[in-house]
Amino acid sequence: MNTIPKIAVVGPESTGKSTMSEYLAAYYNTIAVPEYSREYCANLVGECTFQDEINMFHGQLALEKKLLPQANKILICDTTFLTVKIWSEEVFGHAPQEVLDELPRHPYNFYLLLDIDLPWQDDPLRNFPTKREYFMNVWHRELQALNANYTVISGLGQDRYDSAVRAVGNFLGC
C-alpha cells in the first residue's frame, strides 16, 4: 500500500493550477503529475466527445500511477479526474459511470482549491470565461460530496504561492 500523500491542485479554468503544481513540486523537491487532458485536448481534431472524456480519465490515472514512484514524500497532482466528472456533466449532461465508480476508491489526501481571483487568461483549451463563479461553486459541492480535506487558496503573486505552501505544510504537520 502506498503511503505517499497525494495533494491535488484543483479549481475552475484559469486559476493557475499548472503553475501552482510546478511551484509546489519544486518547493517540496518532488514531482508534479501534469494535467493529462491539456495534452490530449491539444491534439484533438474536432470537438471533444464523451469517449474523449473517458480516455482522459484513464490517461490521468495512468499518468499518476506512472509518476508516483518518482515522488519524494508527497505527490502533487495538477488537477484530478474529478475534472472529467465536472466537465462531462456540464457538456454532456452526465458523467461516465466508471468515473463515478472510481471517485470514492481513489481519494486524494488533501486538495488545494484555487480561487477565481486571478485575471482570466485566454487559452484555446479554455471554454467558460463567464462561468468561473459557477464552476467555483461546483468545485465546492464536489469536494464536499467527497468529504474531501481541502483549503481554498486565494491571492495574487507570491502571496498565492505562500498561502499554498502554508496550507500544505499545515496538512503535513511541518
Residue ranges making up the domain that contains 73 = 6-172
152 inside domain: yes
What domain count does the chain have? 1
- Model pTM greater than 0.85? yes
The CA distance from 150 to 41, in Å, is 27
Collect all residues with Cβ–Cβ distance below 8 Å to 95 and sequence separation of at least 6: 84, 85, 88, 89
- pLDDT tens, 55-112? 999 999 999 999 999 999 999 999 999 999 998 999 899 999 999 999 999 999 999 9
The CA distance from 168 to 158, in Å, is 15
1 inside domain: no
Q: Report the chain's terminal Cα–Cα distance, integer Å.
A: 23
pLDDT at position 153 is 98
Domain of 103: which CATH number? 3.40.50.300
25 inside domain: yes
85 inside domain: yes
- pLDDT tens, 12-48? 988 999 999 999 999 999 999 999 987 887 787 778 8
